[in-house]
Amino acid sequence: MPTKQPFKLNKLSQYFGNDTTQIREMLTLFIDTVPPDIMQLQELAYKEQWEEILKITHRIKPSLDVFEMNDILEDVRKIEDIVRLNNKEENLNNYLIKLVDNVNKMKLLFLSEIKKY
């Protein structure tokens, strides 16, 4: 059984058609911006800088959406909910660790994907 692709390029293809340069640039932009932002979330949570966490999650959601990373996007929304509702019952750190892991996996996949263009 084939594994489910954790991202899609359909939306980018709709925006850019067959312009492989633009698609490669979008993949590179994701690699350069989203993983560092995700890493920063853990530090901000440790410092309890909740508003900054919400700013970053708000900023990265469009990037996750354009690549149709729905599972990761759902985790980001869960993190936002935990922070907004000040829900101490939920373990924010577990979600952050999962998010960092998944985004790092995406980074590796994108590095491989770039070589195709």
Q: Which domains does the chain have, with CATH numbers?
A: 10-114 (1.20.120)
Instruction: Please report the pLDDT score of residue 3 as a whole number.
Output: 56
DSSP code per residue over 37-106: HHHHHHHHHHTT-HHHHHHHHHHHHHHHHHTT-HHHHHHHHHHHHHHHHT-TTS-HHHHHHHHHHHHHHH
Instruction: Please report the pLDDT score of residue 36 as a whole number.
Output: 96
> How confident is the model over 13-38, as pLDDT tens digits?
898 888 899 999 999 999 999 999 99
> How confident is the model over 48-57, as pLDDT tens digits?
999 999 999 9
Q: What is the mean pLDDT of residues 99-105?
A: 95
Reported pTM: 0.87
Q: What is the mean pLDDT of the chain?
A: 91
Question: What's the CA angle centered on 75, arms 42 and 65, to 5 degrees?
Answer: 110
